[in-house]
Structure 1
Amino acid sequence: MADTTAPPPVKVGLVAGGLGAYWPQFPDLLPQLQRSAERVSERMRGLGAEVVDVGFISDAQEGAAAAERLRAAGCDIIVGFLTTYMTATMLVPVAQRADAPVLLINLQPTESMDHATFDTGQWLAYCGACPLPEMANAFARCGVPFRSVSGYLEDERAWARIGRWVRAAGVRAALRRGRHGLMGHLYPGMLDVSTDLTLVSANFGGHVEVLEFDDLRVRVEKVTEAETAAKRAEAEKIFELDASVDEDDLTWAARVSVGLDRLVEDFELDSLAYYHRGLDGEVHERLGAGMILGASLLTARGIPAAGEYELRTSLAMLIADRLGAGGSFTELQALDFHRGHVEMGHDGPAHLAISARRPLLRGLGVYHGKRGYGVSVEFDVRHGPVTAIGVIQRRDGRFALAASEGETVDGPLLKIGNTTSRVDFGCDPGEWTDAWSATGISHHWALGTGHRVADLKALADLLEIELVHVNP
């Protein structure tokens, strides 16, 4: 499989605190709470996060100083650890100045107190729940979104919820900092695919780099025979080659793939959506027809590429990839009422890392609905839990996420050079299709492995957009 492009770790700002008036009254309390804070920092690093730990705060002045340190650090999410009672004035400045979403965690030392032996100081170590309503009230009145996780220090259920917020913060950061390529032009007539580029920045952040197919052409022209041969060898190692593959078409696809690698590197792209119609076999048509191999290899590296100029789906694929779900370019293909399955996939790029088996390259003399010819990818998403993930553009300019959980299952598949999967959504396939379409999704989306709605709920919360969960 192609080497993956590892995204930077999510940067978590951590501040723990308690009411300083307690320390002289109960000398053993602060050291115990600091040990808990150190354990939280350790567990955060275990989630793969880069932790900016500003230590323990005991009053509003220390809270303000911590706020400035966290603001300067450029964190992706701020975690405030309520170790015992603390006043809202200690954390409101952190939340207001951080330019990052805030998660409050209340993790008491163990599942339950020893009521027969505990004194007041020992009880206070379990009192992190006490300030939580106060924080929620103050955050609401200050216009700061509130979210929290309560549990105990080694509570795996609580840490699973914390992990969702941390993963969601990493995806939010990828969107906010992302550079998204948009190359070519809209597939004529696809009104649903059309995306207002300004709304990408307004809803997600990031930058859309508008590219011409000539940006690819000039790079492909400079590809050497040795580079083409190396890319072809890479493809032959990854793919099974069907007898229908034409030697010249495979060589051309390999050359275009090298050019795509350079395009992505030169423009520092994190995703790419593309389409070019072309005419009478001229070079731009040949480039468009030769994209599938290179786009699939890019997607497997963590740089999702979507055909038909489907920018919102390339963003959905990026979301899926950063959640660890892969995310392959998908549309409806047919409904199997006999077996109760929705058949979905696409001609074009695939996420090779989530293939059920070694992916196949098939030669096609015709790309249905498009000009040109060449090689295409055929594969089935790995069987098991999956989630359909899409990005909706509303009439008012707001984006929303659409998601539906199902399971990819075995069954007959077409052998036409398409990515095709059978998905059982646990209901009549017609009812699911009607409910999914009613969300306002475009006719493309990402299909990723695993059930991801819980993660997507967290992401939608951090992005302050709606999540539409289809579960008929």
Structure 2
Amino acid sequence: MTTTFDTSRPDEPARPPGAAPPPGLHRITARRTRVGLVAGGLGAYWPQFPDLLPQLQRSADRVSERVRALDCDVVDAGFVSDAQDAARAAETLRVAGCDIIVGFLTTYMTASMLVPIAQRSGAPVLLINLQPTEAMDHASFDTGQWLAYCGACPLPEMANAFLRCGIDFRSVSGYLEDERAWARIGRWIRAAGVRGALRHGRHGLMGHLYPGMLDVSTDLTLVPANFGGHMEVLEFDDLRVRVAAVTDAQVEERIALAREVFDLDPTVQEEDFRWAAKVSVGLDRLVDDFALDSLAYYHRGLEGEQHERLGAGMILGASLLTARGVPTTGEYELRTSLAMLVVDRLGGGGSFTELQALNFRDNVVEMGHDGPAHLAISRRRPLLRGLGVYHGKRGWGVSVEFDVAHGPVTTFGIAQQRDGAFRFVASAGEVVPGPLLEIGNTTSRVDFGCDPGEWTDAWSATGISHHWALGVGDLLPHLRATADLLGVELTEVALAGPRTNRQELSALESRSAHGRS
């Protein structure tokens, strides 16, 4: 396949999900990103230029301040001046268990000062070269003042030594208050947080595969093999006993919350609504008891028996959990629950999605699902609709209906390749207004700037399963960084030419795990 990179879209940050949720829909307290920070310079300079070290230390303090402002915990190993200092810093950062190591090159320093830190930490490395200002004042600067601007000098040395030592790295160069550079640094740190969420995550799988869906089946060992983390295998009986323990008062409280979050369609039956609320409370307890960060589920059931009723009553509670930051997907879609977790942690929400129809008159792809949705990215107040039939599934009850907020969006999924490796697949588009079905599904009209049939063919050719996450914002820059840190390939489905040019699409293949931002 052709290797190309689409540069037609702006590198914008992810849009935050909508307005503040009601009190009962509070976000979970997610694991915070842990950043290891070390700054350094060549100690031989200090006696030669007495004013240099204090200036560089002030710059290091400013970098520490700005990194701390990126919603992360910082382990600051201080300023190193030689290999002995570096060895002490390496031990500090090794013990800290960081998600990423940021090495600040304040001036020239030897590779021997950062190689052991990178080797011992076990974390991805980001090298930053931020000189004090945009440019030197050449007329007034002496050698000591020039050296404060010399952080670029050791960067090729570090790169050479790291590559020869088999150490992966990436770098950002700029100046101390360069917002473009800080946007790139922030992207790497956010990506490190996603990597940490996967590596430390606990992912639940409850029930069994929807019969015949070979594309969504996943060998459980492949999750820790590709991303790390823990797989927790659950029974529907684990949910059954918790739902049975839910009190009438808890049901009333959950119904009140649902009325605050949703509009209720007249098709909603009171009995079904109460059952969905009861299952929702039990589902919360299940997630808490097993400390889950994500959950995928399915149970076929038979003739209205209790497990069928549990499976049919999941959509309300699963959507509330997803909005709180615990992605919960139907149809046993483990890889999509992980994709939704990635999108959520990148700030894009992430709703359970599949293809629904193609509109060749309006040139849009209609996509959504009849199950769990990310309420925080709805364009309007989401609707609860009563369904007497869940198409393709047994049972009945209430389902969620909305369209994603209009504007830039990203489709993102995780494909499993023949050798068991996971691959990211993503495409940037725009949700646009227009007519939608009113059948208890989430449905969005996505314009990819091309013929919808051509986009669908290119998207399917990547090997993605028939489910994925739909998130708000252009997340491609963040997904590139995340793929780099995880060491997975990223396939981007994008226009081969400008967005206004309706030429054929290319599946943009094999963005290397060693690609740099």
Task: Tell me what 1:179 maps to.
Answer: 202
SS of residue in 2 equivalent to 1:391: strand
**Paired residue for 1:462, among 464, 485, 496?**
485
**Structure 2 partner of 1:163:** 186
SS of 2:389 mapped into structure 1: coil
- Name which of 332, 337, 352 aligns with 1:314: 337
Q: What's 1:193 paired with? A: 216
Report Cα offsets for 1:69-113 as digits up to 9, x if no partner: 001111111000000000000000000000111100000011111
Q: Which amino acid aligns with 2:99?
A: D
Q: Which secondary structure does the structure 2 equivalent of 1:127 belong to? A: coil
Could you say which residue in structure 1 is the equivalent of 2:166? Answer: 143
Distance 1:390 1:191 in 2: 16
Give the match for residue 104 of structure 1: 127
Q: Can you list the C-alpha shifts for 1:405-448, whole angstroms capped at 9, x where unaligned?
A: 01111000000000000001111111111111111100000000
Q: Which residue of 1 aligns with 2:513?
A: none
Deviation of 1:146 (Å): 1.8
Cross-structure match for 2:314: 291
2:3 matched residue in structure 1: none
1:128 aligned counterpart, secondary structure: coil
Separation of aligned partners in 2, 1:279 and 1:107: 64
Where 2:56 maps in the other structure, the secondary structure is: helix
**SS, match of residue 273 in structure 1:** strand
Q: Which residue of 2 aligns with 1:9?
A: 32
Counterpart among 467, 471, 485 of residue 448 in structure 1: 471
Runs of 5+ consecutive residues of structure 2 not aligned to the other structure: 1-20, 495-504, 506-517
Of 254, 263, 280 in structure 2, the residue corresponding to residue 240 of structure 1 is 263
SS in structure 2 at match of 1:129: coil
Aligned equivalents of 1:460, 1:443: Cα separation in 2: 21
Cα deviation 1:230-262 (Å, max 9, x = unaligned)? 111111111000000000000000000010000
In structure 2, distance between residues paired with 1:41 and 1:286: 53
Bigger Cα displacement from structure 2, 54-63 vs 4-13: 4-13
Q: 1:428 is matched with which residue: 411, 429, 451?
A: 451
Equivalents in 2 of 1:6, 1:148: separation in Å? 30
User: Which of 297, 306, 326 lines up with 1:303 in the alignment?
Assistant: 326
SS of equivalent residue, structure 1 residue 157: helix
1:375 aligns with 2:398: yes
- State how far apart, in whole Å, the 2-side matches of 1:46 and 1:69 are: 22
Is 1:75 the counterpart of 2:98? The answer is yes
1:211 pairs with 234, 256, 274, which one? 234
Letter in 2 for 1:211: L
Q: 1:386 — aligned with what? A: 409
| Aligned match of 2:368 | 345
Equivalent in the alignment of 1:402: 425
Structure-2 residue corresponding to 1:226: 249
Q: Distance in 1 between matches of 2:455 and 2:60?
A: 46
Aligned length: 472
Structure 1 residue 321, shift from structure 2 partner: 0.3
CA deviation string 1:372-397 (max 9, x = no partner): 00000001101111000101111111
CA distance in 2, matches of 1:24, 1:113: 23
RMSD: 0.6
Shift of 1:189: 0.4
Residue 327 in structure 1 maps to residue 333 in structure 2? no
Superposed CA deviations along residues 259-296 of structure 1, whole A, max 9, x for unmatched, are 00000000000000000000010000000000000000
Residue identity opposite 1:9 in structure 2: R
Selected match of 2:142 from 119, 128, 131? 119
The unaligned stretches of length 5 or more in structure 1 are none
Tell me, in whole angstroms, the C-alpha distance in 2 between the residues paired with 1:220 and 1:277. 18
Instruction: Quote how far apart the aligned CAs of 1:133 are.
Output: 0.6
Higher helix content, 1 or 2:
1
Shift of 1:6: 2.7
Instruction: Identify which of 288, 291, 297 aligns with 1:265.
Output: 288
Show the counterpart of 1:87: 110
Q: CA deviation at 1:8?
A: 2.6
Q: Hey, what's the Cα distance between the residues in 1 that align with 2:405 and 2:465? A: 24
Q: d(CA) in 1 for partners of 2:426 and 2:117?
A: 33
Task: Report the counterpart of residue 38 of structure 1 in structure 2.
Answer: 61
CA–CA separation in structure 2 for the residues paired with 1:421 and 1:350: 12
User: Whole-Å Cα distance in 1 between the matches of residues 291 and 34 of structure 2?
Assistant: 21
Hey, what's the Cα distance between the residues in 2 that align with 1:87 and 1:400? Answer: 36
Where relative contact order (Cα < 8 A, 6+ residues apart) is larger, the structure is 2
Partner residue of 2:47 out of 24, 29, 36: 24
Q: Is 1:202 the equivalent of 2:225?
A: yes
Task: Tell me the TM-score normalised to structure 2 length.
Answer: 0.91
Deviation for aligned residue 1:46: 1.1
Mapped to 1, the partners of 2:256 and 2:371 lie a distance apart of: 20
Distance in 1, matches of 2:239 and 2:174, equals 52
- Among residues 59, 79, 82, which one is paired with 2:82 in the alignment? 59
Whole-angstrom CA distance in 2 between matches of 1:450 and 1:109? 32
Equivalent-residue separation in structure 1 for 2:63 and 2:329 (angstroms)? 39
1:277 corresponds, among 300, 304, 308, to 300
1: distance between equivalents of 2:34 and 2:166? 23
How far residue 9 of structure 1 moved from its aligned partner, in angstroms, is 2.1
Distance 2:176 2:124 in 1: 22
Structure 1 distance, partners of 2:449, 2:185, is 29
Write the distance in 1 (CA, Å) between the matches of 2:204 and 2:216: 15
| Structure 2 CA distance for aligned equivalents of residues 102 and 296 of structure 1 | 36
> Matches of 1:459 and 1:105 in 2, distance apart?
18
Deviations 1:289-340 (A, max 9, x none): 0000000000010000010000000000000000000000000000101001
- Counterpart CA distance in 2 for 1:117 and 1:133 is 28
